[in-house]
Amino acid sequence: MRSLLPTSVQIPKVLTIAGSDSGGGAGVQADIKVITALGGYGMSVITAITAQNTLGVTRIQDIDLDVVEAQIDAVLLDIGADIVKIGMLASPEIVRTVAKTLRKYGIKRIVLDPVLRATSGASLGGDDTAQAMIADLFPIATLITPNLDEASLLLGRDIAAPDDFKLAAQELLDMGPQAVLIKGGHLDATHTQLTDYLMWRTIEDSLEVVQSKEFKHYRVNTANTHGTGCSLASAIATYLADGHDLPHSVAKAIAYVEAGLEAGRFLSIGEGPGPLWHMHDFYPTALLDEKEKN
């Protein structure tokens, strides 16, 4: 069938490779919402199906390796992708399958959110999966975005305070990715101001230079934080695909998630911690506080 759109019309094409969240707040569902809200075209490869809601994860079913590979083939052979965002990969075998297939297509830009544990505490990977990520995905990743728990698991020691971030980022950078963003959202409640720490490599005059930048922002007072990590990584990927540089993409993505948390403060979705409000730019009524609603 002949396309009705002019071939010159292009928008950022973002492929998310991640698990499905039946509750719609995280995983592939959140990724697609973010990509669409920021003007990109979202595509997906499902690596696992989770039975999940705002109260937690009750079951996980990995997708067969050949089906994971077939999904990547189907998207990249026809549509292509300007960037790939990777989330939950629940086993070392899935990690290796994804890495092998992306290498086959020569994918150059990859944002890896090393999802190893759900906010509820449920394991979504583990030590073997973390080691497979280090060996097979870190060397081809443009950016990795671990939270404090994930950084601790990857490094084998606790990363618990902003003073730890610089050394942790350097050690993670030495594992192979081009850039590391350590997210401070899991800092304890005494930290009313949060710090995210970005470290990245650049080439200047044929020499590798390592740069870093801190992003400080306030903690939004809300329990509705489900899916923030997935959403941040997808936002960074979409901004990168749209031509923004890395520090600018990170800054814009942090602002997007912060606005989503603020907009979703009073949303009532489920009995547990709900999601941020991804569509705040289009449907801002969720910004109203309880007094304004009544």
Indicate which residues carry an active-site annotation. Answer: 183, 225, 227-230
Of the candidates 266, 264, 244, the residue with the CA atom closest to the CA atom of residue 253: 244
Helix (H, G, I), strand (E, B) or coil at 236: helix
DSSP 163: G
Tokens of 95: 């990690």
Give residues with Cβ within 8 angstroms of 208, minimum separation 6.
201, 202
Residues 95, 137: contact at Cβ < 8 Å? yes
Q: Which amino acid is at 146?
A: P
- Taking the chain, what is the end-to-end CA distance rounded to the nearest angstrom? 52
The answer to whether the beta carbons of residues 182 and 162 sit under 8 Å apart is no
Rg of the chain's alpha carbons, rounded to an integer? 18
Could you give phi then psi for residue 68, rounded to 5 degrees? Answer: -60, -50
Pull the structure tokens for residue 198.
Answer: 């970005």
